Structure 1
Amino acid sequence: MCNRLCAMSLTILLLGCGWDRTGLAADKLLPTSGSSSSEQFRSQSPPAPPTEPVQTVSLPERTPGGQTLATVMARVNGQPILREEVLNSASWRLEELRPRVPPAKWAEVEAEIIKSELEQIIDRELLLQDASSRVRPKVMEKVADSASREFDGLLKKQKSQLNLKSDEELRAYLEKRGNSIEEMRRQHIRAYTAMEYIRSLIRDKLDQISREDLLDYYRENPKEFDKPERVTWQHIFVDRYIFSSEEEARAQAQMVHARARNMTTEQFAELAEDPNINRSPSRLRKGEGEGNERGQIRPADVEEALFKLNSGEVGPLIETPTGYHIIRVIDHVPGGKIPFERACPDIRRRLQNKIGQIEYKRVVEELRAKAHIENSLAK
């Protein structure tokens, strides 16, 4: 779970918020002289590569007394990237994949993930160095403050999900698993700052998406806007085999069905949690039904009746060889094609994400071409 917090921190910034995010863009507090923010950033020279050769990577850094501090995996214009940072950043992917990879293949997969993570951190370091040379310190501080507040919100959410009552308990939970809140905060701030900077560089291109561009995408990708019919529903199953007779089971099912007819969503959920009434796995989900679209509903016996119901309705008592099903629809959304006007915000996000990914790659490649990079994992 702690590794998922690291993942959440970075994923929200790099993927979840999208390129349309309105943030503390670096160009907002820079002086303007008629040129665009992107032009202003690029008009200045990038950081010069170091004139002296950098130290060999992949060797431990030591204090003057000879004590080992950390292993350097790469240097970007002389700035070290430590193995600890790379492993901390990659840990959530490693933890997620480990159970699914055969032991004989694990070393190869692990090495590939660490190599990929190091490349991403090098890209981030390039962006941060470029931002530091071009953006006012006060703006950088403001962005860092915003990132820190966002990270506090992530911690608060994580604490709630883990049912922990205090910050001290959360800190102990993370430290037990080898994670430091301070290091996680640092990585979050760096990822956030790099992303804000790249947005400021490409904002002009993101803003150039026209209504005609949106309409062209809508016409060229019709299947993306075919919305399937969906239901959110609740379920109780009365198992006939726990009763002494079929008549007793039917009577119980009819009684529960009658009670359910006038219940709210919350009341139905409470009833569904009673193990003496509901013998379905839905009891563990507070009565939540499994599946939302046709072909996904489980058990399949209730699907036909389910899609005939309106929001808030309880269906007929459904008898099967093993017992009786009681279903209630929370929300029924009819299918059909999403109108163009409603689809516009989503299309704009998709186009911005596409442009953002292309421009991100271009900017990073330009910075790499001018930088002095040593990478211990590069072939």
Structure 2
Amino acid sequence: MIGPESLTRSLAALAHPWRWRFLTLSTVTAAGLWLGLGRTEAHPAGPGEPETESIAVVDGEEISRERFNQRWQPLANNLRLKDGHLAEPMAGAQKAHLAEQLIDEALIEHAAEQEQLLVSEEALDAAMASRRNQLPDASLKHAMLLPEEARRKVRLELLVDQLVERRVPRTFPDDALQAFHERNPERFQVPTYVEVEDLLVAVSPEMKDAELLARQQEAEAMREQILPPSHGGLATAASLPDGVRTRLTSANVPADVWERLSDLSAREVSPVLRTEQGFHLYRLVERGPVVTPPFAAVRDRVGSVMRSELLELRRAGLRHELRSTALIENHLAARQAELAGPRCNGCLDTPALSLPQPAPAGKHE
């Protein structure tokens, strides 16, 4: 037990001013250290680290932080230098870009839900198979995604197609078509003739569907054997083995075949095209002088070209249209702006808070 004398000496020691100051300073330092450690979890993530705080909110719906980090990890690995270092400006810019991508995806899903647009599993499977059957380098844009993310990405692309399709009429009045034809005569110029090599897989009127399909597959296999591996350029060849050189005009072949032949570039090999004679592969050798047909002769093509152009314009403007009517809280951008401070005022491309704005004229039906 502590005796009275020991207790008196302890109290006297504490009474010394310097000892009291030391005890107070130690207590304050320990408390500050504890508070500092407790606050480290709230600090924004480092350049290569996953995000621990909210990414963004789109029309009241939280962007998945887990999915952001899942998409960020392979990006971060690709950005690292040989020594493992990750440049902070580059990492910040890529994180900001990824957040904008996820915001756009949420906007597409919201718009599709509002317009009651769906993508069936069968259509999605077919689109995935089509992409797998394309040239190897054509699928690189999905290479860094997990299978479920790649599937989701393709689904979003199909939803965008539907959203854009809804915003462009399928037919146009004749006066609009004629005006488009007059303003863009060069779009409808065609050669007076084409000199081609023609490789034919012949068919007869008596052939059944199974035989016709077999002949078509034979022609497609021949095309694959003739063409060298391509990397996204035109399908060209020096010649078509056993091809017969001939001159064709719009009077010699069906309208859809002539339209495709008119668009061929020098040495380009056409896809498999069907005529009464059978399945053809054409390689362009020479084009005759071009002429601009009258409107009546190309009316259907004018409508197709005009709609195709409007679809591209709508596709390019869809992002702005969806953002103009959405409430977007970009928390990641706000944190980056706060870290950058006043020296980087205006350096971020996207504001932290995007309020709905009136859509530009012509953006809504």
TM-score bracket for this pair, using the shorter chain length: 0.3 to 0.5
Return the index of the structure with the highest Cα Rg: 2
What TM-score do the two structures reach when normalised by structure 2? 0.41
